[in-house]
Amino acid sequence: MTLTPAAQKFVLHWGEMGQAWGINRTMAQVHALLFVSPQALDAEEISKLLDVSRSNVSTSLRELITWGVVKRVHIIGDRRDRFEALKDVMETFRVIMAERKRREMDPTIALLEHCVREAKAGGPAEQYTREQLEKMLEFTSMVTAWYSQIDRLSTPALQRLFRGGAKLANLFSLGSPAQEEPEPPSANPA
C-alpha cells in the first residue's frame, strides 16, 4: 500500500489534531492511516508508511485498542497480527466520547466533589472558593448528563441532531437577551 496525497494530508493533519487534543501524534497518525486504509495493516507496514519506529507503532496500537477505535484482526494463512480502525464515523465518535468521559470528565467530577466538601469544611474563609467550585461542578455534571442523553440516541437520531444543530441553536436563542435586537433610542429622553 502507498499513501495517496489526500490520505497523506489527512494522516498528517489528524496527527496534528490529536496532538492539540492531548493525544500522541503518532497514535493519531496510526489511527488515521488505519481509518483510510481499505485493508487491515500489520505493524511493520504501518511503521514503513508513517516512517516511525516499530516500537512507537506498537505502543500506539496498544493504546488505540484500549480506546476501542482499533481492533486486531487475523487473516487465514498469515501469522502476523493485522489492525483495522472502526470505519463508521458515528461509532468512532461515540467510542472516543465515551473514553474521554471515562478518562477526563469522571475523574474531574470526583475531584470537584471532593474539593467542594473540603471547601465547605473550611468555613467562611473558603466561601468564594466553594461557590466557584460548585459552579464548575454543576457545569461539568450538566455536560456529563447531556452526553449521557446524547449517547442513548440511535445513530440516525444522532445524525439528525447534528444536522439540525443550527435550528436548535436558533430555537434556544429566541428570547435570549444576548440575541435580541437592541431597542432604538427613545425620542423623548426622560
Which contacts of 51-57 are long-range, i.e. CB under 8 A and separated by 24 or more positions?
Answer: 52/26, 56/26, 57/26, 57/30
C-alpha cell at 151: 449517547
Report whether pLDDT(1) > 80: no
Q: Reduce the DSSP state of residue 110 to 3 states and report it.
A: helix
Average pLDDT in the chain: 90
Q: What is the pTM of this model?
A: 0.77
Contact 14, 50 (CB under 8 A): no
Report whether pLDDT(183) > 60: no
d(C-alpha 42, C-alpha 84), whole Å: 9
Report whether pLDDT(178) > 80: no
Which tens digit of pLDDT belongs to each residue from 115-165?
999 999 988 999 999 999 999 999 999 999 999 998 999 999 988 888 887
d(C-alpha 29, C-alpha 50), whole Å: 8
Contact 70, 34 (CB under 8 A): yes
Confidence at residue 138, expressed as pLDDT on a 0 to 100 scale = 97
d(C-alpha 2, C-alpha 42), whole Å: 14
C-alpha cell at 85: 480502525
Which tens digit of pLDDT belongs to each residue from 8-64?
999 999 999 999 988 999 999 999 999 999 999 999 999 999 999 999 999 999 999
What is the chain's Cα-based Rg?
A: 24
State the amino acid at position 68 in one-letter form.
Answer: G
